[in-house]
Chain A
Amino acid sequence: MVFISHILNLPVVDNKGQRVGFLTDLLIGPGDAYPRITAAVVTPSRPRFGAPSGLFYVPAGQVATLDRPEVRLRVAAEDLGTYEPKEHELRVARDLLDKQIVDTQGRRIVKVNDVKLGDIAGEWRLMGVDIGLRAFLRRLGAEQTADILGRLLPIHLDERLVTWNYIEPLAGELDNVRLTVSHTQLAELHPADIADIVEQMAPAEGTAVLTGLDARVAAETLAEIEPELQARFLSQIESDRASDLLEMLPPDEAADLLSDLPEPQAERLLSLMAQEQAADVRKLLTYEENTAGGRMTTDILVLDRRMTVEETIATLREAEFGKTDIYYLYVVDEERRLLGVVSLRALVTARPGTLVGDIMDTSVVSVQLDTDQEEVARVIRKYDLLAVPVVDIQGVVQGVVTVDDVLDVMQEEAAEDIGQLAGSSPEGVGLPVTPLRDAIRRVGWLGAALAGGVAAGGVVQAFAGPLHAPMAVFYFVPLILNLVNALGAQSFALAGARGGDEVRRVVRHEGAVGGFLGLLAGLVVALGTYSWLGDGVFAAALGVGLGLALVMAAVLGGAAPVLIQRTRLDPAVASGPVVDAVVSLVALLLCFGLISTVRVA
């Protein structure tokens, strides 16, 4: 799987690694469910603003890889084949990317933000178009930002793929991309797919679609819609229709939907539902949303232990299926207290006259009504179950939580855990970055160090009067030391994490970083000092001295790991004393040396 935004403008190299050009576009032959890529459109010169020139076509068969960091060909540059684009063929970037998707009535829906390609049995094919915000950020090269945003905010940043079978590019070259599924054809799709499309529509249109669908399909579609959007659609549908849809759903899903609505509205819908179903839903609504009670469905089948296998199978045949799948059959006593579980397999293989009480497995795992959903998920995962029964304090079976009820809980938990990990880990350490970016990344920490320095300076200043010493010396000592030590430590840590770098490269990189930061800090401190003391010469000398000291600190700090490695000392232990001592000494000498020089002069 690769996105067109990832590969456009990548260099194209032949089988010997020699560059033949840059990827400008891909040709597809429409018609298939997943159109095949027939050729790569390549321009010999680096693409710039405006239309690329000298385009040539490389047949798809000669393209070996189609992913970052470069597009590789199977053949040498001399052996490149030619490809004559056919009349009906489309160019992915030119004809699809950024185009408007309209529905069959010509209404605007969304923009094509990206195009997804997949390698199917050795052939590259177009999988669909991505219409989500995430794809938009990806186009800007900010997909990592999207990941971070997605973890921090309740914004939906997944891929939003519309598969190719649902779309058709309109005849004219400049026209929009049309959704081929009309509202009536929508019904033939899987409810999950309809939900994906409906989510993209304005509520009024989406509601119209939901109203037009068969009630059962509409109900299932509603259940598949993103939880945040469900209530919005449900509240737009006419009450009578809405209550019908709710009746179609398993009670737990109906309860989930209603719990997101304002109470008066939920109450009105409940009053319109059939009494029996409404009672089930009402009961579920009383349980906390994040507990087994809130997640379970009450629409289950339980077996009396005195039933025979034959009777059980007959009951199963007659029972109305479809609301929930049957994973396990739970066996209860006269008071509906949970006794054991019978698998369908055990039931089918047992002799017809056997009592279910005799073939049941009594080591059944259950959870309480108020068990936290995370715990339920943990139980299901631990015992490898498809469903777990929920019992009240008396052990009476109240319902079942199935694995799909808690699947999203498991995912939420996992995402949380990953988020925490990422938050605490040093993000991006060791990545090759430009000095400017590196400087920007580290400037915040230095700011904190500067603040610490200013505070420490204040403490020293308090002693300046009683000691009758030149105030400046006392004030600026901790400020200078804090700044240079902080930068030295940063450079040390980052260079150490990168590892294996040559001294010369490290020195050049850190020199540049130190240059940026030194210039910045020197300016800030010089301006601050000038506005405070009004002594321009002193401020300038201090600023220059501090700037130079910071360059020195970055270079020394960066080179230290390699140098220390060469001396066979333990870098973790040696770093602090050695680097700090050297950096501090040189920095103070630089700053005060400069100041006293200009003072004397």
Chain B
Amino acid sequence: MPKTNRPKLLALLAVMGPGLIAAAAGNDAGGVATYATAGATYGYDLLWLLLISCLTLALVQETCARMGATTGKGLSDLIREQFGVRWTILAMCALLGANLAVTTSEFAGVATAAEVFGVSRYIAVPLAAVFVWWVVVRGSYRSVEKVLIGLALLLVSYVIAAVIVPQDGAAIARGILVPTVHAEGEYILLAVGMVGTTIAPWMLFYLQSSVVDKGIRVSEFGETRIDVLSGVVVAGFVAFCIITVTAATLHQQGIAVTSAADAAQALEPVAGAFARTMFAAGLLGASLLSSSILPLATAYAICEAFGWEASVSHSFREAPAFFSIFTGVIVIACTLVLIPGIPLLRLMLFGESLNGVLLPILLVFIFLLASDRRLMGRYANGRIHKGVSWGVTAGLAGLSGALLVSTVGGLFL
């Protein structure tokens, strides 16, 4: 970018709150893969679920931000203090599993993008792992943040692609407003994956911690609410663009997506070589951004729950658990991606689906905490709020259940 633009850009970034950052980082490689597959396979048919997911995201993010502002504590802290050691371990296992799955899909995204550019994944993925580790551990936190935000801007390329491709407005409106359900395993997998990538568990922990770190009071909560909502709108809009782009091109032409590279290449006849490069660049940027935040957020959340020393500014000896978790998540995710012959796109999709399956477990904790009058005082969830929250949790649990049944059923049939 030209040097003269930098101050303006930085000023803009300074306004970005934790809600915006969390939501933007939520549209990661797994998200791209899930949305692209959804658009290519079912056209506009899953747009209604995207709308519901975004509304749910707004509901949950607002709840977490409110909890952070009211109690001044992170989500892990609250779970530990209110539910004790055993339940905390359950919650942390769910979080660790979900985050490992998502981090794996991030590295799968790196591998995919690299292969579009003609670089072997056996070179690109380890390099990316080392880069991410180094940026977080060795760089100062300020510069880390700048690197991350700079990478996040590559997401704009999705929106540009959506503008270039001609769209059918009526079909889109129908897709959003009329739920179209296909009773197929693939549809359920994509649906759960879509929920999982839109409302990733790590985002909730990350947002609440950020609200606490910034010392936001519940009295000045209005701004935070706007920040959270604008984050959801941005994330939802980017997801919407990806789905409509792939629906208008790949689905129209009946091209099945078997890899994310397919999706990128399939855009070529429509939008020229430009679309392909944008797709890969966006994928790479989003993957690197999220794979920097995810292992870090995981380590912070788990250490917070167990009262262990946690900070990037400490040395390994000072915070061994923190660095072990951080490094372990990167190493395991990176290793999974490097298993020879593993289908990258499916890996990303499964990662997001696992996220979706584990999400209801964490939602139960979150909504129980948010309804606790002793904890939240007058900011606790009211009756209507509670009803909606539990309804949503039950719906998501049902969806996860359907996925499990169809997967297990698929194994035996």
Interface residues of A (CB under 8 A from B): 50, 97-100, 108, 110-111, 113, 131, 136, 139-140, 173-174, 202-204, 232
Contacts and interface: CB of A to CB of B under 8 A. Distances in A.
Contact of A202 (B71, B80, B309): B309
Interface of B: 71, 73, 77, 80-81, 84-86, 88-89, 306-307, 309, 314, 317-319, 368, 374-375
Nearest to B87: A49
A98 B375 contact: no
Contact of A139 (B77, B85, B309, B317): B85
B314 A202 contact: yes
Given A111-B80, A139-B84, A203 B317 contact: yes
B318 A204 contact: yes
A111 B84 contact: no
A100 B71 CA distance: 13
Contacts of A139: 84-86
Given A174-B375, A203-B318, A232-B317, A136 B84 contact: no
Given A99-B81, A202-B314, A140 B89 contact: yes
Contact of B84 (A97, A131, A173): A97
Contact of A111 (B73, B306, B314): B306
A232 B319 CA distance: 13
Nearest to B89: A140
Closest A-B pairs by Cβ, 5 of them: A111-B307, A139-B85, A98-B81, A110-B307, A98-B80
A50 B82 CA distance: 10
B390 to A, nearest CB: 13
Contact of B374 (A111, A140, A173): A173
A461 B246 CA distance: 62
Contacts of B88: 98
17 contacts: A98-B80, A98-B84, A98-B85, A99-B81, A100-B307, A110-B307, A111-B80, A113-B85, A113-B307, A131-B307, A136-B85, A136-B306, A139-B84, A173-B374, A174-B71, A202-B309, A203-B317
B84 A100 contact: no
A111 B308 CA distance: 8
Nearest to A236: B318
A139 B85 CA distance: 7
Nearest to B70: A174
Contacts of A99: 81
A99 B307 CA distance: 9
B134 to A, nearest CB: 22
A558 B154 CA distance: 70
Given A98-B80, A111-B306, 15 more contacts: A97-B84, A98-B81, A99-B81, A100-B81, A110-B307, A113-B85, A131-B307, A139-B84, A139-B86, A140-B85, A202-B318, A202-B319, A203-B317, A204-B314, A204-B318
Nearest to A232: B317
Contacts of A97: 84
A593 to B, nearest CB: 33
Contacts of B309: 202
A313 B17 CA distance: 76
Contacts of B306: 111, 136
Interface-centre pick from B81, B86, B307, B318 (highest chain A CB count, 10 A): B307
A161 B371 CA distance: 34
Contacts of A113: 85, 307
Given A202-B314, A203-B318, A140 B81 contact: no
Contacts of A136: 85, 306
A242 to B, nearest CB: 18
A108 B80 CA distance: 15
Contacts of A110: 307
A381 B21 CA distance: 66
Contacts of A232: 317
B315 to A, nearest CB: 8
B77 A100 contact: yes
Contacts of B73: 174
A113 B307 CA distance: 9
B206 to A, nearest CB: 18
